[in-house]
Amino acid sequence: MSLVRGANDRQGEIYDEFFVDSRIRSDVWKFADRFLIKGRLLDLGCGTGEDALHFTQRGLEVTAIDISPAMIARLKLKCGEAVRYEVGDMCSYGSDKPFDAVFSNFSAVNYVSSLEWLRRIPLLPGGYLVLVTLGRFYPLGAAIFLLKGQLRRVTHRLQSTIEGSLDGSTFTVHYHSLNKIRHDLGPSFELKHVAGLRALSTTPDLRHLERFGVIRLLRPIDAWWCAHRLTAVISDQFISVWQFVG
């Protein structure tokens, strides 16, 4: 059993408590709903199925895949038969029938080192691939680490990989820059949009800091920062939208 799968199996039970009502997820939906409109959608590293449920309710026909049986078990409880699901490694996923769109949320593809396998996922020409991946520098997080004197953590994401740990299991997190994603996807994908998710505002683990006025004052700057392509990638996570041009 892979370490990623082992760690996520145990997290399956507590994951929803942390992520279901996440404000960040609704920000992702606001953006993704502009591109994932109809037809067959493949959700890679689907977790407990929050996105699968959302897109199904919007009329898409969702296929969801995750390496963790515990995550898929939660998805089954939540979505019933409305969603097709599979326990498996997304990197070797295959389908005879092409998808209208492919989606992967909250850093699922940061568990793998190369994204070249995405070229093999059958996608209809004109279809969108929407990825939510970890940024390589989160300014607010870095500032907090600096204030705490944890200097190594200020820049730790600038390494291309770091060892993470979840519930006692260790695993590797791979940071993909926009250029790396572009390289791995190859010339058949064109970058259409980029948006940041939390550069100068708080992620769920830093939400306690919102009691400080300065954090609230930074919100408009955060919105501007996250909306511009050059700065958007310098954030906790960023959304990139790619169109398959065949």
Ligand X SMILES: C[S@@+](CC[C@H](N)C(=O)[O-])C[C@H]1O[C@@H](n2cnc3c(N)ncnc32)[C@H](O)[C@@H]1O
Q: Which residues of the shown chain bind ligand X in the complex (CB under 6 A)?
A: 4, 8, 19, 45-47, 50-51, 65-68, 71, 89-91, 105-108, 111-112
- The distance of closest approach from Cβ of residue 118 to ligand X in the complex, given in angstroms and rounded to an integer, is 12
Give whichever of 130 and 200 is closer to ligand X, judged by the CB atom. Answer: 130
Integer CA distances (angstroms), 79 to 72, 123, 195, in order: 10, 24, 28
Q: And the tokens for 99?
A: 């998808």
Give whichever of 103 and 242 is closer to ligand X, judged by the CB atom. Answer: 103
Integer CA distances (angstroms), 82 to 42, 59, 147, 197, 231, in order: 14, 10, 48, 29, 38
Give whichever of 29 and 231 is closer to ligand X, judged by the CB atom. Answer: 29
- The distance of closest approach from Cβ of residue 20 to ligand X in the complex, given in angstroms and rounded to an integer, is 9
Please classify residue 59 by burial: count the beta carbons closer than 10 Å to its beta carbon, then call 0-12 exposed, 13-18 middle and 19+ buried: exposed
Q: Which residues touch 76 (CB under 8 Å, ≥6 apart)?
A: 49, 85
- The distance of closest approach from Cβ of residue 112 to ligand X in the complex, given in angstroms and rounded to an integer, is 6
- The distance of closest approach from Cβ of residue 141 to ligand X in the complex, given in angstroms and rounded to an integer, is 17
Q: What are phi and psi of 158, to 5 degrees?
A: -75, -15
Give whichever of 55 and 111 is closer to ligand X, judged by the CB atom. Answer: 111
Give whichever of 106 and 244 is closer to ligand X, judged by the CB atom. Answer: 106
- The distance of closest approach from Cβ of residue 12 to ligand X in the complex, given in angstroms and rounded to an integer, is 8
Handedness of CA 233, 135, 234, 140 (dihedral sign): positive
Give whichever of 105 and 243 is closer to ligand X, judged by the CB atom. Answer: 105
Give whichever of 67 and 123 is closer to ligand X, judged by the CB atom. Answer: 67
- The distance of closest approach from Cβ of residue 210 to ligand X in the complex, given in angstroms and rounded to an integer, is 22
Residue number of the CB atom closest to ligand X? 47
Q: What are phi and psi of 44, to 5 degrees?
A: -95, 130
Q: And the tokens for 69?
A: 């049986």
In three-state secondary structure terms, 171 is strand
Q: How far apart are alpha carbons 65 and 99 in whole angstroms?
A: 14
User: What region, left, alpha or beta, does residue 244 occupy, with left being phi > 0 and alpha being psi -120 to 50 degrees?
Assistant: beta
- The distance of closest approach from Cβ of residue 75 to ligand X in the complex, given in angstroms and rounded to an integer, is 9
